[in-house]
Amino acid sequence: MTMLKTRSTGFQAYFRTVGKEGRGIVLLVIVSLLLVAGMGSRLAYLQIVEGQRNRQLADENRIRLIPKPPERGKILDRKGRVLAGNSFSYSVFVWPMAAKKSNWPRTLELLAQILKVPEEEINHRVQQAGVNSPSLIRVAQGISQAQIVALEEHRAELEGIEIDREAMRLYPHGEIAAHILGYIGELNAEELEERRDQGYRLGDVIGQMGVEASYEETLRGTWGGQQVEVDGEGKVIRILGQKIARPGNDITLSIDLDVQRAAEAALGNRTGAIVAMDPEDGSILALVSRPAFDPNWFARRMSESQWQELQRRQNPFVNRALQGFPPASTYKIVTATAGLESEYFGPDSVLMTYSALNTGGFAFHDWNRAGFGSLGFAGALAWSSNTFFGQVARRIGPESLIDWSRRYGMGEKTGIDLPGEAAGFIPTPEWKEEVFGEGWYDGDSLITSIGQGALQVSPLQAAVMFAVPANNGYRVRPHLIRSTENPDKWRQSLNLQPSTVSVLRQGLRQVVTGGTGAALNVPNIAIAGKSGTGEDPPRPHHTWFGGYAPADKPEIVVVAFAENSGGGGGSVGGPMVLNVIQAYVKHNSSK
C-alpha cells in the first residue's frame, strides 16, 4: 500500500509540473498505446485463431467455378442406329459477374437486336440467376454465322458476353418415334427448385416426355467446369484448373428403325396408333401415335410458325398407344378364353348363331343381321359372330369375363418404361351399382363380350392380348430397353389348357384365310389376326386390327388402331398391320 501511494503521489507531482498541454500529450500517447495493443491482439486472433477460415473466404471471393454442361447420352435402335443424338453449335452466354452494371442497358439492347430475342426474356434469365452469378447464363442457342460476326463487331460494347460451342440435342429422323423418344426442354423455376439438390442448375435441360424423361438419370451425364481466378471487377486473371464434363450414357432400345418407319407410313395422317412387339418377351419393335410432333422444335428456340402448327394438331402430345378405347371385337379373344377355360364349354363346343339375341326388350344383333348358322369357337372368331360370344358371356357370367380380362392385363398399366400410360377400364357390377345405382343386366354381359360399352383397352394392352395365343399362353410385360435376358423375366404363364391355345390360334388364322381379315391373306407370309369395329356415337367408329406372323411360329405382333376413322377393322386396320409385318420380314430375313 505504501509503494502504491508513493507511485500515485509521484504521478500527481509529475502532472503538476508538466502543465495542461503536457498532460494532453501524455494521455494521447497512452490511448495510442492501448489502441495499438488492441489492434495487435485482434490481428493475432484473425491470423492465428481465424486464419484458415479467413483464407478460405478470401479464396471464395477471388476464385470462381465456371460450370460446363455434359453432352447428353445417345438413344439408339436395336441395330445401333441413332434415334436421338447431339450436334454442336454456338450459343451465347451472359456472365453477370463480369458484365459492367452501368453498361448493361446498352448490352441488353444490342443482344436483343442481334439475337432476335426480346429484351425482357434475356433480362429475366439474368435476374433469375442473380447479377453476381459466377455461372454463364445461356440466352441463345444455335446462332448463325452472321450473328457470331455481329457479336464480334460489337465486342467492345458487350462486356460479360461469351460465345461458346456446346452440344444440342438432335433427332435425325424428325417426327419418327416422337412419342417413344419424347423431347427435352430447359428446367422451369419450379422444376429447378425440385431438382436443385440433384445437381441441376439454371439453364439445364431435362427430359420432358418419353424415353428422354424415363431415363433422364442415365442420359444426363455429369457437369464439369473451369476454376478461374478473378480480380476485383470479376475479370478472369488465369485458369486454375479444369474438370472435364462426363457425357451421359447411351441407351439401346428394342425399337427397329425399319419397322418403325413402316408403321409411321402405314398409319399416315390418320389419328390413331400402331404397336409392334416381340410376342416372346414384350420387346417393343415399333410404337406410333398420331398426330405427332418434331422433337427438334423443343431442342432450340421454337419459331412462331412451329408453335402455330402445333396448335392446329389435335393433342399431338397424347400417346394414343397408351390410352384406352373400346377394343371392339378384338376382345373376343378374351371372351373365347373365358368360355374355353370354363366348365361350360370345350374345344369342340358348337352354338347356333342368330340374327339377334333378345334381352330385356332389346335386340342384340349380329353384325350381319342374319347370323352364321352353327359355329364352333374357331369359326366364331373367324366370322366375329356377336351372337355366338353373347351366348358364351350369358353362360359363364360377368365374374368370369372380368377375371380373364384382368389375367390378360386389362384394367392395369402394362408397366412399359414410358410415362403417361393409362390403365384402361373393366366395367364391373360394383362399378355400375355405384355410378348408376342399378344392377348388372344380361345386356351388360352381352355388350362387354364383344368389346363395347364402358370397356377401355389401349393398343399396347391389345398387343399384350394378341401375344398370349402367339406365344402359347404367356402374358408379357412390354419394354423399350433392349434386353438379352431370358424371356421368362418378361412374362408369366396364364396356365391355359393347350386345347384353348390351339383353338385360339386356329380361329385367328381362319380370320385371315377365310374371314374378316382376308386383306392379309398374302403369299409367302402366314398371318393370323382379328378385326374390330368400335362404336363411338355420334362420331364415326374406331377401327382395329391385331395380328401376328408367322402364324406357326410368331416373331412379331402388330396392333393397328384408327380413331374415328369409319370403315371396317379388316379394310382399314388390316392393310396397316400387313405393311408392318412385311417390313419386319424384309429387314429381318436372317433372323
3-state secondary structure 61-84: HHEEEEEECCCCCCEECCCCCEEE
Q: 64-252: which CATH number, 3.40.50.1260, 3.40.50.2300, 3.90.1310.10, 3.10.20.30?
A: 3.90.1310.10
CA 424/CA 446 separation, integer angstroms = 19
Say how many C-beta atoms besides its own lie within 10 A of residue 438's C-beta: 10
Contact 405, 461 (CB under 8 A): no
Q: Verify whether residue 458 is a known catalytic residue.
A: no
Q: Which amino acid is at 102?
A: S
* Cell numbers linked to 540: 364415326
Q: 257-587: which CATH number, 3.40.50.10440, 1.10.3720.10, 3.30.300.30, 3.40.710.10?
A: 3.40.710.10
Query: Between helices 442-449 and 398-407, what is the axis angle to 10°?
Result: 30
Contact 532, 515 (CB under 8 A): no
Query: Between helices 104-115 and 119-129, what is the axis angle to 10°?
Result: 130
The answer to whether 64-252 and 257-587 have equal CATH topology is no
For the chain, how many residues are written?
A: 591
Q: What is the DSSP string of 278-319?
A: -TTT-BEEEEEEES---THHHHSPPPHHHHHHHHHSSSTT--
Q: What is the pLDDT of residue 187?
A: 84
**Domain regions of the chain by residue span:** 64-252, 257-587
Q: What is the pLDDT of residue 24?
A: 64
**Strand pairing partners for 185?**
206
Contact 283, 485 (CB under 8 A): no
Catalytic residue among 135, 329, 405, 565: 329
In 3D space, the residue among 105, 153, 101, 152 whose CA is nearest the CA of residue 130 turns out to be 101
The model's pTM: 0.84
Q: CA of 432: how far to CAs of 494, 500, 501, in Å?
A: 28, 31, 32
* Cell numbers linked to 160: 460479360
Contact 537, 248 (CB under 8 A): no
* Phi and psi based region of residue 369 (left: phi greater than 0; alpha: psi -120 to 50; beta: remaining): left
* Sequential pLDDT tens for the chain (591 residues): 444 444 455 555 555 555 556 666 666 666 666 666 666 565 555 566 555 544 543 444 566 666 677 899 999 999 999 999 999 888 888 877 667 777 888 888 899 999 988 888 888 888 877 766 666 788 888 888 999 999 988 888 888 788 888 888 999 999 999 999 999 988 887 888 888 888 887 778 899 999 999 999 999 998 777 777 766 555 667 767 777 888 999 999 999 999 999 999 999 999 999 999 999 999 999 999 999 999 999 987 787 888 888 888 989 999 999 999 999 999 999 999 999 999 999 999 999 999 999 998 889 999 999 999 999 999 999 999 999 999 999 999 999 999 999 999 999 999 999 999 999 999 999 999 999 999 999 999 999 999 999 999 999 999 999 999 999 999 999 999 998 888 899 999 999 999 999 999 999 999 999 999 999 999 999 999 999 998 888 999 999 999 999 999 999 999 999 999 999 999 999 999 999 999 999 998 655
CA 326/CA 447 separation, integer angstroms = 11
Q: List the beta strands (DSSP E) in 470-582.
A: 474-476, 491-493, 528-536, 539-549, 556-562
H helices of 475-569, where?
Answer: 498-514
